[in-house]
Amino acid sequence: MLNNIISILTISLFTSSFASFCHWNSGCPYKYFASKTSYNAIRGDIRDSLVVLKGCEPVSIWGLLRHGKRYPSSRFGKSMNEALAIREDILSSYREGRSSLCAQDIEDLDAWVTDKKMFDSATELTPEGYEEMYGIGKRIRHTFANLLDKLDKHTFRPAYGKWIEDSAKAFIKAFNNNKIHPEKSLSESDVMAPYLTCGKYQKDVQKNPNIYEESEKYKKNPEYLATKDRIQRRTGIAYELTDTNVTALYDLCRHTWSGVESKLSPWCALFTKDDLQVLEYIQDLRSYYRNGYGTPQSETFGQIPLADLLRTFQKVKEGDGKKMTAYFTHATMLDMVYTSLGLFKDNKPLSSANRDRDRKWRSSANSAFSVNLVAVLNRCTKKDEIDYNVVFYLNEEPIRAICADGTCTWKEFEEKLTPFLNTKIDFCEFKSEPY
């Protein structure tokens, strides 16, 4: 009996000495998960951040929006489903005194119930994703009520994909107008996703595993190896975790976190803040070289929706435009548009050799679920003269980087976007299927 008590005390002391971080009561848990970040973690509120200009009124709104939170693809879902078995090993390690996880985090992980839809409804829009998109629509409608309450001339078009179509429907639902419907999505190349059917780009970039060379090289970096070792020791699992295991566990963490309900995921307890930042950087490397400055074609593709933006506002100036234009698309398209505008550009390319903690290219902030780039055309009257300006918003906050004072004069706006009107993607060579 005495030996048993001593053993229990020893295990307790061993566990307590290593359980220096508890996820459940961390106060400010890290909630940035690259492109799987919840919109609520990074958004502003356009109702509060609206740029009000004396003598001006909004006359047209143009937006490019990523779809809301969706369930993982079948490929990633399969890896995540297989990783669920590791939970029993983590619980056993804790009972045997090999884990440094906190008791409450273990209890929460043990009680966690699998959402079958996460594996059975691949890529479908989640209820949280619906709420994200509905919320954006509601706040925009509220902010520009005078312009949008009687919305007659408009375009709402989703890119190809059911989860994107459902995102558009959620956004439109906020307008409480039964006469507004999304346009039919096009399977071929379109304004908000021209890269999808570009054969050469799909072959050389999107479906080329070599494009991820830097992110794979980073997995040999001492920083990543230290992260992997911390996860190994924190969980106390007897066998060695593979890179696939680590990625699957990370995906379980970021897919089961609720931004709308501010609900923590017990799977995130397996990682420290440093671990999550390292894993986030792997995703940044992937998006940078696939969608951003690491691929020359990205800038060209990004010019196509920006040319549409210019044409849309030119028509409004001519008296024949639309009050609102909204395109619903992928994170890839937003990344390409940032590249065309020169946003979030670092002085040096992102590298596997060194993780710049102050880098500008951060997919958690720029490519989260439901991220959106919105441009507002204002008509201004001064001394009986009419002029126009454009204000850009990213995730419901004004962008200061496009024009010096945050508000583009019409001349600045036109000069910046006019070169994009002649953009061609004749390098595609052949057409490919979008999915």
Return the sign of the alpha-carbon dihedral for residues 160, 163, 166, 170: negative
Return the sign of the alpha-carbon dihedral for residues 91, 96, 101, 104: positive
Residue 20, pLDDT score = 60
Rounded alpha-carbon distances, angstroms, from residue 325 to 149, 152, 242, 282, 377: 15, 11, 46, 34, 12
Please give the DSSP secondary-structure letter assigned to residue 229.
Answer: H
Contacts by residues 218-227 (CB-CB < 8 Å, ≥ 24 positions apart): 218/281, 218/282, 218/285, 218/352, 218/355, 219/243, 219/282, 220/352, 221/352, 221/353, 221/355, 223/278, 223/355, 224/278, 224/282, 227/274, 227/275, 227/278, 227/279
Residue in this structure with the two tokens 């897919």, named with its chain if needed: 255
- 12-45 pLDDT, tens digit each: 333 333 446 799 888 789 999 999 999 999 999 9
CA–CA gap between residue 367 and residue 35 (Å, rounded): 5
Q: How many helices (DSSP H) and strands (DSSP E) are in the chain?
A: 18, 7
Rounded alpha-carbon distances, angstroms, from residue 291 to 178, 195, 202, 206: 36, 10, 12, 9
Q: Which domains, and CATH codes, for the chain?
A: 2-428 (3.40.50.1240)
Chain length of the chain: 435
57 in helix, strand or coil?
strand
- 291-300 pLDDT, tens digit each: 999 999 999 9
pLDDT in tens, the chain (435 residues): 434 433 333 333 333 334 467 998 887 899 999 999 999 999 999 999 999 999 999 999 999 999 999 999 998 999 999 999 999 999 999 999 999 999 999 999 999 999 999 999 999 999 999 999 999 999 999 999 999 998 989 999 999 999 999 999 999 999 999 889 999 988 767 899 999 999 999 999 999 999 999 999 999 999 999 999 999 999 999 999 999 999 999 999 999 998 887 788 999 999 999 999 999 999 999 999 999 999 999 999 999 999 999 999 999 999 999 999 999 999 999 999 999 999 999 999 999 999 999 999 999 999 999 999 999 999 999 888 999 999 999 999 999 999 988 899 999 999 999 999 999 999 998 888 766
